[in-house]
């Protein structure tokens, strides 16, 4: 007649799901062990071993029956007990195993960003992982969202302030002498009249 611990046979189903069978026990029958360390789970009754949570998921308690999914703006590696926050200039969708740098023309000014935003008009986002857009300098402009670089004002136009979305044409009687990227126009000099030789 069986002389072992009868409580093993009376274990609740949820206890079995959170445990696995240890074949190294010296007891007459296999014993139930809680899944450990953190970052592992067991979704099958009396499974031989616990499985690691995949990247993008985590298990913060021992004996987990399933892994939880990382929220947008966070990530995790395999067998994680928690998710880490993406830094500024990076983003991640839900269930990510890593953070992605914002592409040129986009930015993320806050940590834990699920997506990167388009660089606003009058600004440039020239490099990957931009956290703060740079204002267009005087003499340049950015007419649309998502600019990677500010554009110099064409010849005979100008901008005398920063963050412009368009350049202004030179007034009558002024020009930029064929130069681009100018902050101001200069007056056109009238051609001198030659003196008549008597």
Long-range pairs for 140-146: beta carbons < 8 A, 24 or more residues apart: 140/164, 140/181, 141/165, 141/166, 141/167, 145/118, 145/119, 145/120, 145/121, 146/105, 146/106, 146/118, 146/119
DSSP 34: E
Q: Please give the mean pLDDT across all residues of the chain.
A: 83
Q: What is the mean pLDDT of residues 23-46?
A: 61
- With 70 as the cut, is the pLDDT of residue 136 above it? yes
CA pair distance 113, 80, nearest whole angstrom: 20
Q: Do 163 and 121 touch, CB atoms closer than 8 A? A: no
- With 70 as the cut, is the pLDDT of residue 26 above it? no
- The CATH architecture annotation of domain 119-186 reads Ribbon (2.10)
Confidence of residue 189 (pLDDT cuts 50, 70, 90): confident
Q: What is the mean pLDDT of residues 15-38?
A: 52
Q: Do 112 and 74 touch, CB atoms closer than 8 A? A: yes
Q: What is the mean pLDDT of residues 136-140?
A: 98
Confidence of residue 15 (pLDDT cuts 50, 70, 90): very low
Q: What is the mean pLDDT of residues 175-181?
A: 97
> Which one has a higher pLDDT value, 163 or 3?
163
Indicate the burial class of 110 (C-beta count within 10 angstroms; 0-12, 13-18, 19 or more). exposed
Query: Taking the complete model, does pTM exceed 0.85, yes or no?
Result: no
Q: Where are the domains of the chain?
A: 119-186
């Amino acid at each position: 007649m069986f002389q072992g611990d009868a409580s093993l046979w009376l274990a609740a189903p949820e206890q079995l799901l959170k445990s696995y069978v240890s074949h190294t026990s010296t007891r007459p029958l296999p014993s139930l062990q809680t899944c450990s360390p953190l970052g592992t789970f067991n979704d099958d009754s009396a499974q031989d071993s616990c499985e690691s949570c995949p990247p993008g998921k985590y298990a913060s308690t021992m004996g987990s029956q399933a892994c939880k999914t990382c929220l947008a703006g966070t990530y995790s590696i395999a067998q994680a007990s928690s998710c880490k926050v993406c830094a500024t200039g990076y983003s991640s969708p839900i269930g990510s195993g890593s953070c992605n740098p914002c592409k040129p023309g986009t930015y993320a000014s806050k940590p834990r960003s699920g997506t990167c935003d388009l660089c606003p008009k009058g600004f440039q986002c020239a490099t990957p992982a931009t956290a703060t857009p740079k204002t267009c300098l005087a003499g340049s402009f950015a007419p649309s969202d998502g600019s990677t670089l500010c554009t110099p004002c064409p010849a005979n136009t100008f901008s005398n302030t920063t963050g412009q979305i368009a350049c202004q044409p030179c007034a009558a009687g002024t020009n930029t002498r064929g130069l681009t990227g100018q902050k101001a126009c200069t007056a056109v000099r009238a051609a001198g009249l030659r003196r008549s030789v008597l």
